[in-house]
Amino acid sequence: MMTPTGGPRTTERYHPRVEARLQVKVLLSGRTVQAQARDISMNGLFLQAHPADSQRALTIALPLPGDHELVTMCTIRRREVDGVALEFGELDWDDLIALARFLHPHLP
């Protein structure tokens, strides 16, 4: 959908993003590839990597402070020149709490 100014319509985000230069492990067919997250929210992250065009989902392992590693399947929601926007799959309570503790000090 286009806006009256002719630009693409942007949707308002429910969860604010924070800048996060985190190393993310992407789990691919029995091997692990390192990539960097540009930003993160409670709903997902932007990964500075280019998975194959045929891939619709990725499994990631995201190390968080306190020796917690969030491992989840993510859906690729958007592809851009510098990477892909990922939406987290289901997270358990421990993952949600660890993620909220990481994000809280960085929120405006």
CA distance 26 to 67: 18
pLDDT at residue 9, as a whole number: 44
pLDDT at residue 106, as a whole number: 74
Maximal C-alpha separation, the chain: 48
pLDDT at residue 107, as a whole number: 74
Nearest to 35 by CA among 74, 67, 46, 65: 46
pLDDT at residue 2, as a whole number: 40
The whole-number mean pLDDT for each consecutive block of 10 residues of the chain, a chain of 108 residues, reads 44 72 91 95 95 93 89 96 96 94 82
- Confidence (pTM): 0.83
CA distance 42 to 62: 13
**Centroid of chain to Cα 55:** 15
